Amino acid sequence: MSTDLPIDLRLSEEQRISREGMRRFASQTMVPGARAADEAAAADPGVLAGIAGFGLTLMSLPEALGGAGLPRSPMGNVLACEDLGEGDLSQSLAALAPLGVVNALLDFGDEAQHEAWLPRFASEAPVPAAVALAEPRATFEPGDPHTRARRDGDDYILDGEKCLIPLVEQCQLFLVVAATDDGPAAFIVEADSPGLSRARQDYMGLRSAEPGTLTLEGVRVPASQRLANFDLERLVSLSRIGLAALATGCCQAVLEQCVPYALERKAFGEAIARRQSVAFMIADMGIEIEGMRLLTWRAASRAEQGLPFQREAYLAFLQSMEKAMRIATDGVQVFGGAGFVRDYPLEMYYRNLRGLSALHGALMV
């Protein structure tokens, strides 16, 4: 029998106000520019600055380090991911990646590491940074990184390759997960470290997130830059919740495109929405999105309450990745031939959703 506590889905007044602002920004700024950013394979600096202006990285920073000193809120971050993901999943990923670094430092760093690194993020201006966990191999498992870190006196020397890192060429620092003799560890690595190189990659989707690879060849990192209390399972689980929220937002955008199109598009003298095959397909989209949302909110709620949430995070991620691809495919199908061309955003949504399942650790809420 389940021992879950009841989940209160009512939002606080602060959360409602925040969502209103983010939804307005997503609809008025992100949606109109999403196609241009995708075509250019570059994030819009105005969008990055606008998202940074919401102060998500500032909320949980201690006041002594320049932050707001508010309690850490995975639920609040999930709501932000969902709302911004509805505007443009790809640019949202790029803008929210530094939040993952900040949350990892808060969760796993010691006081000295907080004081050394967190003030850098105490600004409403965007500070590009990213967690580097995923590796470019088919058999990759988050718990078994092939990137190695070996101890050498007071330093560690890192060797390996990471992939799918948002804004890889702009990042000022990386949180690199590597294997050590005593298990996986995380290291703060400055972008200008000798032996570190990075390169953009032209992926099918997530183009405006400017993703790419990070190569480490004998990169020397002081032992003080190894996070003191690293918990890989927590990082992966909180990232799964964030990615599920982004998927939910983007799928909501698919649904919002399909409903008016089906009501307006006529075939054989009537709107295609009057055909059961189309109507049922759209209804199933709505049902699956609600399921994705509730699973994701449940996992985030448990994380916020300090309850075990790893199982719930995995279920939310699994459900969201599977149903997101079905929703994206059905969205293209509702539009028929129009869904296959770039006049409508359906094919872009499909491409962006397709890449989410490979973004291990990319967005820690």
Same domain for 268 and 162: no
* Whole-number pLDDT of residue 272: 93
In a domain, 82, yes or no: yes
In the chain, the number of structural domains is 3
Mean of all residue pLDDT scores within the chain: 94
In a domain, 237, yes or no: yes
CATH at 186: 2.40.110.10
Determine the structural domain holding residue 104 and report its residue range: 13-121
Confidence of residue 8 (pLDDT cuts 50, 70, 90): low
Confidence of residue 14 (pLDDT cuts 50, 70, 90): confident
Same domain for 96 and 21: yes
Same domain for 117 and 133: no
Query: Average pLDDT, stretch 318-327?
Result: 96
* Whole-number pLDDT of residue 93: 98
Query: Average pLDDT, stretch 88-97?
Result: 98
In a domain, 80, yes or no: yes
Query: Average pLDDT, stretch 138-166?
Result: 96
What pLDDT, in 10s, does the model give residues 245-281? 999 999 999 999 999 999 999 988 899 999 999 999 9
Same domain for 134 and 116: no
Q: Which of 105, 121, 137 corresponds to the end of one domain? A: 121
In a domain, 317, yes or no: yes
How would you write the chain as a 3-class SS string?
Answer: CCCCCCCCCCCCHHHHHHHHHHHHHHHHHHHHHHHHHHHHCCCCHHHHHHHHCCCHHHHCCCHHHCCCCCCCCHHHHHHHHHHHHHHHHHHHHHHHHHHHHHHHHHHHCCHHHHHHHHHHHCCCCCCCEEEECCCCCCCCCCCCCCCEEEEECCEEEEEEEEEEECCCCCCCEEEEEEEECCEEEEEEEECCCCCEEEEECCCCCCHHHCCEEEEEEEEEEEHHHECCCCCHHHHHHHHHHHHHHHHHHHHHHHHHHHHHHHHHCEECCEEHHHCHHHHHHHHHHHHHHHHHHHHHHHHHHHHHHCCCCHHHHHHHHHHHHHHHHHHHHHHHHHHHHHHHCCCCCHHHHHHHHHCHHHCCCCCCC
Q: Is the pLDDT of residue 3 over 60?
A: no
Same domain for 239 and 217: no
In a domain, 147, yes or no: yes
Q: Is the pLDDT of residue 90 over 80?
A: yes
Same domain for 111 and 32: yes
Same domain for 345 and 237: yes
Same domain for 316 and 207: no
Percent of the chain whose predicted confidence (pLDDT) is above 70:
98
Confidence of residue 189 (pLDDT cuts 50, 70, 90): very high
Q: Is the pLDDT of residue 364 over 50?
A: yes
Same domain for 354 and 254: yes
Same domain for 195 and 89: no
Q: Which of 201, 225, 249 corresponds to the end of one domain? A: 225
What pLDDT, in 10s, does the model give residues 38-60? 999 999 999 999 999 999 999 98
* Whole-number pLDDT of residue 1: 39
